Structure 1
Amino acid sequence: MRPAPEQPMRKQERPEWYGQQPQWPAEPSQGTGYGSAGRAQAPGDVGPGTGGPGPGPGPAAPFQQRPLLPEPEPAYSYPEYEPHPHDRRAGRVRKPLLAGGAVAGAAAIALVGYLMSSGGSPAKTGGALAAGSSPSPTHTSFQPTSADPATAAEQTATAFLSAWQSGDLQAAAKYTDDPTDAMTALNTYKSGLNLSSLTLKPQPAQAAASTPASPSVSASASGSGASTAAAASADGPSATVPFSATATVSMTGKNGTMPWSYNSSLVAYKQPDGWSVRWSPSILAPGLADGQQLTVVAMPPSVNKVVDSAGRTLSSYSDAAVRNIAVSLESKAPVGTGTPGVAVQVMDASGAAVGKTPLATLQKPVDASELKTTIDPTVQALAEKAVSMRARSSMVVLRPSTGAILAVANTPGSGDTALIGGLAPGSTFKIVTSTALLKYGVVTPYSPVTCPLEYTVQGVVYHNATDDTTKKEESEPPGTPFITDFAQSCNNAFTQFYKQLEGGKLANIASSYFGLNQAWDIGLGPNRYFSMPGSESGAELAQENFGQGKIVASPLAMASVAATVGTGSFHQPYLVSGVTKVTANALPSGIDANLKTLMHAVVLNGTAAGVFSGITGPLYAKTGTAETDANKDGKPNAWLVVYDPYLDIAIGTVVQDSGYGSVYAGPEERYVLSHL
């Protein structure tokens, strides 16, 4: 019988997400509070400290009836204020509320008095608050001591900022006209920035014009500190209070902190029962909108020049896939290359970055001048020449002992199939299926395994390939050794064992020994180059046994399968050094030896017999022919993988819309091996 690979009848199904770059939202830090007002925070303290303004119980009473409190240690410093024009009335000059980081005795007592008379109280320790478990705050209007709108707005802003800075977020939220949203946003601000300290300094306010108008919020990032007018609200007089903020932040999971300084502003306005801060997310940072939050992120460095192993720039190559690699690496250097920067990024509710640039750059990245890849110019040139033999051809060449990617080649119009793939691998996947059958004791290389013309599972009839000469479907009689079934690539010798591989056994072998079905970072960021369901049964698993169904793969992944058998253990493919690699268990020595025997039989007297004539030394290969929904004119995709121990080379090739792997992919791989 003339050896020929199978041509399965089932069509593949591709998951829509295949090939997409996964996005993972940043995890907020739980934190341990960020300082205290009124006392120093001792080691081990959790949550905000005590001190700072906050609402108190019961109705307000005149200051004279309140007991005097000891002078608190200041939690933050305000600059000395110059008298405002609106403070020079009737020959009186207003003294600053807070000055020079210290509060004068009378001024301190007066401030504590009016905070308490307005319902304020020193901030309370907030371990539960830090964890976001406090009840929703209730709005409490602030009662300033001054009738002057600008001064009253400053006092209202001072109470809000003091509570926010001290970590008493519930007290701060109560001073706003939307306590629930304010509380949520203040907590998210703290966790998203991994906040460890915060200093807030208000600037002089200016009362709004007397003409009533719709309220508006002004957020200034100019850093000038100049007063800006806010339109008076229909509720009553209002004023804008600019303030500066200095936050000590850090990235989740990273040691070390960094300061972030910026300017913002808030609007305080009078209501019938007192003054309030008009809540807006832009108070937290200029331009911040509802549903957005701030996160500290790493800024990846870029690369000035990406080169092959000999120093030639990849951008000079003719292959589009190689040039795409250069563009990707230039825009985002892999981990370990250059020095990442640090930035504050605005994120939406889904965890995606808002805008192309971060809100603030805290530390600029240091770009790498040159990045060397594993692309070998000699092997790359041979691969490009080889794929030019057929239209829609793609190839990847690996160094099995290390996983280094030596060549990536695609004919024009093939896209980046060599890396991305997304195609059913056909019978090349029988290497993995055979590993599972050997591992679970279902077969040995010489077990008698019949391969019937047809095999039915749950009403689905599976066939073998049709002999190209006799035009008859192939089969193997009872008593046929499994090694012959493998060498001749007879489908139903594998289909019939679907029950023995249920319960996720096949997917487990693919992952645990071959590193498949998980994201690899080859230097371009994590991506999946192979995908299969985690646990299937019945008809779906039956066709997955011969590499169809929902399995999709790339030449990169299948070249790695051949390389894993060659060396006995998985070495994740990579383009640049220093990337974090996926690991897998080494193949048991007995199973690896049997796999080599099976794959060598393919070359000696199986579907690849004669393909590598003239090449000395043993070779280990597997052909594959796979139908997909994208096939034109009913022509299948031709696959071939090969391992050459003498050259320490593994190759994975697919020729789309062609035919048998030995006929179409075979000559291309032979060309590469024969010229090395």
Structure 2
Amino acid sequence: MRSGAKVAIAGSVFVVVAGGVGYGGYNLWNGVMGGDASPDPRSASASSPRTGPVTGEEITTTARDFLAAWAAGESDKAAQLTNDPVTAGTAVLSYREGAKVAKAVITPGAAVGATVPFTVKATISYEGVTKDLSYASELTVVRGQTTGRPLVKWQPAVLHPKLTAGATLRTGPAKTATIKAVDHNGVELTAEKYPSLRPVLATLRERYGSKVGGSTGVETWIDSGSEAVPDTTLLVLSKGRPGTLKTTIDAGVQAAAEKAVKSYDRTSVTAIEPSTGAIRAVANNPVTEFNTALSGGQAPGSTMKIVTATMMMQHGLAKPDSRVECPPTVTWYGYLFQNLKKFKIDNGTLTDAFSQSCNTTFIKAIGPLDKKDLADTALGETARRSFGIGEEWNIGVPASNGSVPESTGTESAASYIGQGKITMSALNVASLSATAKNGRFLQPYLVAKELDDREFATAEPLSEEVASGLRTLMKAATTGNGTAAEAMAGVPSPKGAKTGSAEVGDQATSNSWFTGYSGDLAAAAIVEGGGHGGDAAGPVVARVLKAG
């Protein structure tokens, strides 16, 4: 303990006060050599470091000593009790000095295996303003590889659960002015009321805070260390004057989307206004810094048949009323593709095949031999030229452009039904429906391009025949024995939809996809591991469309 320190007991927590600055812990560190350095040769165990799993006593003692050293502001001592003392020492020192932590009281919980949970109450003090920052974290004790000593497994999240490699905790004047984000009708949007918008609002603040007026306040935040990842505000010590930023979000549709994604784990949904491209809702469950709804990159399954059907109509292969084959299976370059449960449609049309999502139709109608050049290149060209997929989308925050790369062999057949190398986000797939409904692609956007003179992606309008044909196909999917009929039953007309399921690696259950439109609102959702598109993702989309 440093000279002049005083110890007082606060419940089960020791509070160390040194030089007028306090740090809390529940025991004090006493001269233990840490890290993974070589043991003292005089030690009886020097020639045979201990092996095997860490014991309960080692877990308790190591966690106690580390937390006490950290709480006391002894960064070097805390670091030596970890398996990465160089990195840990810098991080613990930065925690105290960079975040302006005047006092930290750490309260441990009961160990669960080798993991010890704990809570932190950090008192932040900056230029006469003091506030508390409370949160929970955990640490894990492991055995040192060379010394055999029990050590804290170092990772930034030990200090704060939102800290990642390269990120640091900071307190001071905010880097950007605060914003008051509002929807297109002027309703305020907050992360508390609309949790899925938290990463969106953070990015909007960084990008546009200085463009909409307002002033900076004093905050404690996690500096991500990367321009691609927004910083995360943890505590506001003094507020700045916010500037108002108008977004395209619709508060009512956003609220419905927030509720809809809670029905399933690992779910994302996006809604777009077809006539303008305005994004009306973005929601994810769980909410993470990575916005899956906007930036995800997953195989879209049979929702891709919207693009494949467009390609077929544009190249004269079929029209909605054309007779097509839908056998149970089809072979492409020796590889067997099949329909769900090997169903077939006898003497059906392209509309029948689309509405019932017949895989073999969208492979057999193109064929790998007599139309090989078309099979290798046309789908990607159609996706880009007619739907803007693969062009650069500048929506106002990071977002995926979608990708339909050139394919060969069996990958070409797989691409027609949304598998292979194709990747899209819920935003991209929602835009497919929006384009079909509107008759032309309008790049989705979240804030007006005039704010920063962004260039919007463009595409060629669909011909009236193709646009009308797409709407016929998608309407059929919502009626009769169409795969989207049940999910879209209560959704107002005019409406259209397409279901999809996508197999992913060794995942036992396919991802559930669904996209559709109703009136002037289009949406798409993915439920990872949700199975058939109409079963899981369908109800999510339907709930959002009804809110529009």
Normalised to the residue count of structure 1, the TM-score between the two structures is 0.47
CA contact 1:303–1:332 (8 Å) conserved in 2 = no
- Structure 2 distance, partners of 1:675, 1:305, is 27
Residue of structure 1 aligned with 2:243, choices 369, 376, 387:
369
CA contact 1:387–1:410 (8 Å) conserved in 2 = yes
User: Matched residue of 2:313: which SS?
Assistant: helix
Deviations 1:393-432 (A, max 9, x none): 1110111111111111111267522111211100101000
Equivalent residue letter for 1:482? L
What CA RMSD, in Å, does the superposition of the two structures yield over aligned residues?
Answer: 2.6
Alignment match, 1:449: 324
Equivalent residue letter for 1:575? L
Q: CA deviation at 1:322?
A: 1.0
Alignment match, 1:657: 529
User: Matched residue of 2:322: which SS?
Assistant: coil
Q: CA deviation at 1:612?
A: 2.1
Q: CA deviation at 1:481?
A: 1.2
Once the two structures are superposed, the pairs formed by residues 299-448 of structure 1 within 5 Å of their partners are 302-309=176-183, 310-311=185-186, 314-317=189-192, 319-333=194-208, 369-412=243-286, 416-448=291-323
CA contact 2:302–2:499 (8 Å) conserved in 1 = yes
- Structure 2 distance, partners of 1:390, 1:652, is 15
User: Matched residue of 2:208: which SS?
Assistant: coil
- Structure 1 distance, partners of 2:547, 2:242, is 35
Q: CA deviation at 1:379?
A: 0.9
* 1:488 maps onto 2:356 in alignment: yes
Q: CA deviation at 1:302?
A: 4.5
User: Matched residue of 2:324: which SS?
Assistant: coil
- Structure 2 distance, partners of 1:545, 1:392, is 26
Instruction: Mark the CA change 1:630 to 1:529 in structure 2 (over 3 Å): closer, same or farther.
Output: farther
Equivalent residue letter for 1:517? G
Equivalent residue letter for 2:285? T
* 1:617 maps onto 2:489 in alignment: no
User: Matched residue of 2:340: which SS?
Assistant: coil
CA contact 2:268–2:525 (8 Å) conserved in 1 = yes
Q: Structure 1 residues 387-396 or 425-434, which shifts more?
A: 387-396
* 1:575 maps onto 2:425 in alignment: no
CA contact 2:190–2:198 (8 Å) conserved in 1 = yes
Deviations 1:584-625 (A, max 9, x none): 111000111111111111001211123222334231110001
* 1:460 maps onto 2:335 in alignment: yes
Q: CA deviation at 1:313?
A: 5.0
Alignment match, 1:123: none
CA contact 1:520–1:581 (8 Å) conserved in 2 = yes
CA contact 2:212–2:243 (8 Å) conserved in 1 = no
User: Matched residue of 2:535: which SS?
Assistant: helix
- Structure 1 distance, partners of 2:269, 2:514, is 10
- Structure 2 distance, partners of 1:323, 1:547, is 31
Once the two structures are superposed, the pairs formed by residues 74-113 of structure 1 within 5 Å of their partners are none
- Structure 2 distance, partners of 1:307, 1:459, is 55
Residue of structure 2 aligned with 1:550, choices 409, 421, 430:
421
- Structure 2 distance, partners of 1:596, 1:569, is 12
Q: CA deviation at 1:476?
A: 2.2
Q: CA deviation at 1:369?
A: 2.6
Equivalent residue letter for 1:454? T
- Structure 2 distance, partners of 1:553, 1:327, is 24
Equivalent residue letter for 1:430? K
CA contact 1:529–1:556 (8 Å) conserved in 2 = no
Equivalent residue letter for 1:460? Y
- Structure 1 distance, partners of 2:176, 2:249, is 19
- Structure 2 distance, partners of 1:630, 1:399, is 36
Normalised to the residue count of structure 2, the TM-score between the two structures is 0.58
- Structure 1 distance, partners of 2:195, 2:546, is 25
Structure 2 residue ranges without an equivalent (≥5): 1-174, 215-225, 228-240
Equivalent residue letter for 1:657? G
CA contact 2:498–2:515 (8 Å) conserved in 1 = yes
- Structure 1 distance, partners of 2:432, 2:420, is 19
- Name the structure with the higher strand share: 2
Residue of structure 1 aligned with 2:434, choices 563, 568, 578:
563
- Structure 2 distance, partners of 1:539, 1:644, is 35
Deviations 1:275-323 (A, max 9, x none): xxxxxxxxxxxxxxxxxxxxxxxxxx95520412144554434555411
User: Matched residue of 1:591: which SS?
Assistant: helix
Q: Which of the two has higher C-alpha Rg?
A: 1
Q: CA deviation at 1:495?
A: 1.6
**RCO (CA 8 Å, sep 6+): is it higher in 1 or 2?**
1
- Structure 2 distance, partners of 1:319, 1:538, is 45
The percent identity for this pair of structures is 37
CA contact 1:513–1:570 (8 Å) conserved in 2 = yes
Instruction: Mark the CA change 1:572 to 1:334 in structure 2 (over 3 Å): closer, same or farther.
Output: farther
Equivalent residue letter for 1:652? A
Once the two structures are superposed, the pairs formed by residues 231-310 of structure 1 within 5 Å of their partners are 302-309=176-183, 310=185
- Structure 1 distance, partners of 2:209, 2:446, is 10
CA contact 2:400–2:425 (8 Å) conserved in 1 = no
Instruction: Mark the CA change 1:413 to 1:635 in structure 2 (over 3 Å): closer, same or farther.
Output: farther
Equivalent residue letter for 2:469? N
CA contact 2:191–2:201 (8 Å) conserved in 1 = no
Once the two structures are superposed, the pairs formed by residues 606-645 of structure 1 within 5 Å of their partners are 606-629=482-505, 631=507, 634-645=508-519
* 1:532 maps onto 2:369 in alignment: no
User: Matched residue of 1:529: which SS?
Assistant: coil
Q: CA deviation at 1:630?
A: 6.5
- Structure 2 distance, partners of 1:601, 1:608, is 9
- Structure 1 distance, partners of 2:396, 2:348, is 45
- Structure 1 distance, partners of 2:252, 2:349, is 41
CA contact 1:498–1:538 (8 Å) conserved in 2 = no
Alignment match, 1:474: 343
CA contact 2:492–2:546 (8 Å) conserved in 1 = no
- Structure 1 distance, partners of 2:266, 2:413, is 29
- Structure 1 distance, partners of 2:500, 2:268, is 14
Q: CA deviation at 1:378?
A: 1.0
CA contact 1:334–1:524 (8 Å) conserved in 2 = no
Alignment match, 1:585: 460
Equivalent residue letter for 2:532? Y
- Structure 1 distance, partners of 2:177, 2:201, is 9
- Structure 1 distance, partners of 2:177, 2:360, is 51
- Structure 1 distance, partners of 2:503, 2:199, is 28
CA contact 1:302–1:368 (8 Å) conserved in 2 = no
User: Matched residue of 2:434: which SS?
Assistant: helix
Alignment match, 1:517: 390
User: Matched residue of 1:659: which SS?
Assistant: coil
CA contact 1:308–1:376 (8 Å) conserved in 2 = no
